[in-house]
Structure formats: C-alpha cells, structure tokens
A = this chain, B = another copy of it.
Amino acid sequence: MGRFRVGVLTGGGDCPGLNAVIRSVAKSFLLQIDAEVIGFEDGFLGMIQRRSRPLEYQDVSGILAQGGTILGSSNKANPFEYYLDNNRDVSQEVCDYFEELKLDALVTIGGDGTMSISHGLVEMGIPIVGVPKTIDNDLVGTERTFGFDTAVHIAAEAIDRLHTTAQSHQRVMILETMGRYAGWIALHAGIASGADIVLIPEVEYDVQEVARVCREREQGGQRFTIIAVAEGARPVGGEMVVSSIDETSPDPIRLGGVSHLLMEQLKGMIKSEIRATVLGHVQRGGTPTAFDRVLATAFGNHAAFQASKKEFGCMVALQNNQLTEIPLKEVANKTRTVPLDDTLMYAARAVGTSFGTQNLPAKRMRCPV
C-alpha cells in the first residue's frame, strides 16, 4: 500500500498568507504522515491544463513570510465553465486527471468562487477540504479569513499617513479600501485609524449627512475630516460604482469608483478641499502580518488533519474562536456582511464615527443617573 497522496491549489485573487497555508498543509502531510504532496499550478487552471508538480520539503521551506503564492493562481478558471474553451464544462476531464494522479485528497485554498467550484467537484466524487481565503473577510461560516488582518493593517497605516496631511491642510481626505459586498476592511481600518466617517456597502450613505459631518467639523475647529470608504459603498438609491482597477472587465481602466463619485457629490457642499486615494492592490500583496501567518498555519494544519481523517466536503473555519469546519454547500455563493447591530458598529459610533446616515439602530448607552 502506497503513501497517502494529496493535491493542493490556490484559487482566486492574491492574498497575504497563501504561501503560509501551502507550507502548513505540505509540512503537515510530509512530516506527520510522510504523504506525497502535489501542487496544481495556477489554481483550477492547472487541474484543467494538467499542470502539477510535486512539493517537497525544500519547496515549501522559507516561504512562510512571502506574499503571493508559489503555485500561482487564476481567478477565472472554472472547470464547469472553462473560459478558454467557450465556457465548456470540463469538470469530468478534471476528475479524470485527479484520478490519474492517484490522489487521495485535495486541499483547495480560495474564496467564494473556489468554494463553489470545490462543492461542485465534491459532488462528482473528489475528496476536498477547503481553506477560506479572502482579504474582505466576507465568507460565511468563518469569523476570520487569513489576509484580512494584513489588508486592515495596510489600510489603517495609509489612513494614519493621510491624517497628518489632512490636519496640516484642512482637508477632507478620502481613502477607498477594498470590500465590494462587505465593509469589514473599511470598518476595521476606520476604527483602527480613527476615521471620522466610514462608508460601507451595508449602509447606504446620505451625501447630505456626509457633508453635514464635514461642515460640523470645519466649524468645530477640527480642520479636517477623514473618510474611509469601501469600494462597494453607494449613496441612498444609487448603484454601486466599483472602480475598475480590480475588474477583469472589458474596460480595465477607470480608477476610483465610489471615491470619485463622492468627491463629485461633496464638491460645492463643503468649504475644504477634497483629496482621494484608492489603495487598490497594495492591500492584497506582500508579506502577511504575524496574526495572518499564525491563522494561515492553523488553517493549513487543520485542513491536513481533516483530510487525514478522510472528512471531506467541508471548509475549515473559525467559529467562536475555535478551529472547526462547515459543509462546503453552506459556504458557496454567499456573502457575510456587516450586521447593523455588530458590536464594532456600536463601538465605532460611540467614539464618534459617522456612517453617513441617521438610519441606524438607536444608540446603545443610556444615561443611568
């Protein structure tokens, strides 16, 4: 009887910590049960195009702190709808290749899209454990995804830097963070850096209210206003105007979606000059924070543990601060958004942060005297 053989791939957009997960999965298998580890290149594209290579100890040694993924990724390659072949369903060929490689398990590291595909492949018989990845932290079933802490760290550091310019020049400074469907990055970075206004997709903003806060600060002598806005935020009744820098759209050139719009809207309503910065991909590359390296290592090891127990069809997750797992089908095609009564929403408002609207649950504290 041969050695246990496991495949691993990374799908979707770049995310700090991918290499830390790959290393943890591979070392767990290599060192604990002397398994053979095979990496697919460029995510599911490698499964479709039959590109894979063995991962030995030295291949995954020294990659913990590196950004990116040594395996490469692809965020378009869906075996059920292969974009390079007229959107044909090539899933059976993928299963055949998996079979030929005599793999006993597959670990897929990715976001929403990767988990949906993984769910489909599980239904076709491939034994998969998923590892949740998204800098947006909007996957259902897990409190945290690796990469999120790093994205928040970078965004907060950028706002820290903008603060001094805003203060010196009496300006309104806008920082557009990632977060198309959920505002977690903007919320956390906004709290971490003391943004005065935080705009997120979950709360439609009222530009009159945004302008009112800016003016109140102008008059109150604070001289500046910092706005953290998630790319997916939108005005009351408005459409999402996501910047196209992160798009694979036919027109990949428009920079600054909602921050552009917001500048346009605010112009004339307030006295201060307005400046905007769109952080873009800087948030998703580079070395992960210590927090994300630890979480990525824990996730990778837990995925290996699950696979060694032959418990497939699930995604590893953090719930109640414990490592656990949930069925892939519960993850696919869903988004975890910020609840309006989230503890951090209350905390942010308590320290004076505006969400650009008056339409939020009543404040939590009452005077007891």
Contact = CB atoms under 8 A, between A and B. Distances in A.
Interface of A: 1-4, 10, 13-14, 18, 23-24, 27-28, 31-35, 61-62, 64-69, 72-75, 104, 143, 149, 152-158, 160-170, 173, 188-189, 191-194, 222-223, 245-246, 248, 252-256, 259-260, 263-264, 267, 273-282, 284-286, 289-291, 293-294, 297-298, 300-302, 304-305, 308-310, 318, 320-323, 343-344, 346-348, 350-352, 363-369
Contact of A284 (B32, B165, B301): B165
A158 B253 contact: no
Contacts of A2: 369
Contacts of A291: 149, 152-153, 192, 289, 291
A365 B73 contact: no
Copies of this protein in the complex: 4
A254 B4 CA distance: 49
Contacts of A285: 160-166
A101 to B, nearest CB: 15
Contacts of A4: 367-369
Nearest to A105: B368
Contacts of A290: 149, 152-153, 155-157, 188-189, 192-193
Nearest to A155: B290
A249 B352 CA distance: 32
Nearest to A343: B323
B289 A289 contact: yes
Given A4-B367, A255-B278, A308-B366, A161 B154 contact: yes
Given A169-B75, A286-B161, A352 B27 contact: yes
A103 to B, nearest CB: 12
A48 B228 CA distance: 34
A365 B280 contact: no
A167 B143 CA distance: 29
Contacts of A163: 67-68, 285-286
Given A193-B64, A350-B28, A343 B165 contact: no
A62 B275 CA distance: 21
Nearest to A243: B255
A165 B12 CA distance: 11
B282 A162 contact: yes
A137 to B, nearest CB: 12
Contacts of A24: 347, 350-351
A164 B67 contact: yes
A334 to B, nearest CB: 20
A38 B6 CA distance: 39
21 contacts: A14-B165, A24-B347, A28-B365, A31-B351, A74-B169, A75-B169, A104-B369, A143-B321, A153-B289, A192-B294, A192-B297, A252-B274, A255-B256, A277-B280, A279-B282, A291-B291, A301-B346, A304-B350, A304-B365, A320-B321, A322-B343
A278 B275 contact: no
A66 B164 contact: yes
A162 B282 CA distance: 6
